[in-house]
Amino acid sequence: MSKVCAVFGGSRGIGKAVSQLLAKKGHRVIVVARNLEAAQSTATSLGEDHLALSCDVSKEHDVQETFEKIQSSCGNINYLVNAAGLNRDGLLLRTKTEDMVTLLHTNLLGAMLTCKSALRGMLHNQGGAIVNIGSVVGLKGNAGQSVYSASKAGLEGFTRSLAKEVAARNIRVNLVAPGFIHTDMTAGMNVEELSRNIPLGRFGEPQEVAQAVLFLLESPYVTGQVLVVDGGLQLAM
């Protein structure tokens, strides 16, 4: 049966690949990002009956308004994917407090706010599925990414705890932890050098992460899990 799916960070990169896969499966997709034009362009490319909305996930008011719009045009959502995220890499000593706050508010608080809003409809529907996008850096840590790592590690704890909180209501919550994936976020990186540390010898593609997201959304007996999609990078970290 066709599902109503909200993909935060759905305009580009991993979120866009998730939006494309969900649309291909016949689901109705709401593509959400700050840049409305980019979200619209992605939603249009998915075909008819999909929606684009502008929202900054770090702002509670924005998130609430977005869910009101979703509710009035599509009703309760069945699937929520939190792929909105930022990185501001740098050594802790050189990181400004405002950058720490922006990172935590976007990567961690943002997912908490969207989950909170989505749960109301899911409780009403007596079921639903949520996938948050973490990172192997949240599991293993990385020099120069302490704040990013903290935001993603926080997301892991949040995912497991929320999974326990809502399991009895038939709502599942899981985390996908990607390694290096070809997107705007990794565009400036030295692919050749970094690929040497990846057992599979290459960066991943957004579509390869989307497959894992779809698996977790559709698997009725899986909740509170972390699925690592990293070409084996974690084994070498």
Among 3, 38, 208, 222, binds ligand NAP (CB under 6 A): 38
The full 3-state SS of 215-233, as one line of letters, equals HHHHCCCCCCCEEEECCCH
Neighbours of 54 (CB within 10 A): 18
The answer to whether residue 9 forms part of the interface with ligand NAP (CB under 6 A) is yes
Residue 87's SS3 state is coil
Which of 8, 79, 148, 180 is catalytic? The answer is 148
Q: HSE on the CB side for 224, CA within 13 Å? A: 11
Among 18, 21, 83, 153, binds ligand NAP (CB under 6 A): 83
Residue 170's SS3 state is coil
Among 56, 60, 89, 208, binds ligand NAP (CB under 6 A): 56
Restricted to residues 122-141, the positions that interact with ligand NAP (CB under 6 A) are 133, 135
- Which of these segments, 77-85, 164-172, 194-202, 211-219, binds ligand NAP (CB under 6 A)? 77-85
H or E element that contains 191: helix 191-195
Tokens of 164: 């326990």
The answer to whether residue 45 forms part of the interface with ligand NAP (CB under 6 A) is no
Residue 34's SS3 state is coil
Residue 221 known to be catalytic = no
Inter-residue contact 39 to 65 (CB < 8 Å): no
Q: Looking at beta carbons only, is 89 or 123 nearer to ligand NAP?
A: 89
- Which of these segments, 19-27, 50-58, 121-129, 166-174, binds ligand NAP (CB under 6 A)? 50-58
Note the residues at the interface with ligand NAP (CB under 6 A).
Answer: 8-9, 11-15, 33-35, 38, 55-58, 83-86, 106-107, 133, 135, 178, 180-181, 183-186
